[in-house]
Amino acid sequence: MRVAVLVSGRGSNLRAIVHAAREGRCPVTVVAVFSDRAEAPAIAWARAEGLETRVVAPSDFPDRAAWDEALARAVAAHEPDVVVLAGFMRIVGTAMLGRFEGRILNVHPSLLPAFAGRDAPARALAAGVRIAGCTVHVVDAGVDTGPIVAQAAVPVLAGDDATRLHARIQRAEHELLPAVLEAIATGRVRLRPVLQAPPCARCVDDRLLVAP
């Protein structure tokens, strides 16, 4: 399965996907890595690993719509089956959503629909929850509102601050995201025409909850 990955920061989930693919745990090929920031560490890492990279910076375009259209064209040129937003800190627009309808995945550091948007681990702590986690979902026009594909739960421990909790959630993300891609690549989860998964709720492995 051909996968394009969009990043804005360090790219830890990108690395998890690439490592899982190289180890034979995830039958995907990362065909290209895109970023909105030329200085993103993830882009430097991807180049060093020999991956195709492209920076599509919003500042190079007159408005958000023009940037979104340029991004959609750049990603489409690599003919991905699935587009993954892995720490991509921009909301994609109508051009991307139209070009890749139902095929864009995002990983978010909360058990959606709780704590959508920014600073999810800090907001989870402020709310006093005892279980946090991460979600892989299909991207739609809202903010973290698309159909949920899979989730992994992470305990909130005594003495946690947002940094410690987020680090623990990210470790779960690094397992969840490649597992979801493996399930899609092998046909156990289908994104189109509508999100479909096997009837068993625990169908990827014992740690992952997959939407029915």
Which residue numbers are catalytic? 108
Q: What is the 3-state secondary structure (H, E, C) of 88-123?
A: CCCCCCHHHHHHCCCCEEEEECCCCCCCCCCCHHHH
Buried b (16+ CB within 10 A) or exposed e, 124-153: bbeeebeebbbbbbbbeeeebebebbbbbe
Cα 114 from Cα 79, distance rounded (Å): 33
Evaluate whether 147 touches 158 at the Cβ level (below 8 Å): no
Q: Which two tokens stand for residue 49?
A: 């690993």
Q: Which two tokens stand for residue 50?
A: 């020999």
Cα 181 from Cα 189, distance rounded (Å): 9
Residue 105: phi and psi, rounded to 5, are -110, 145
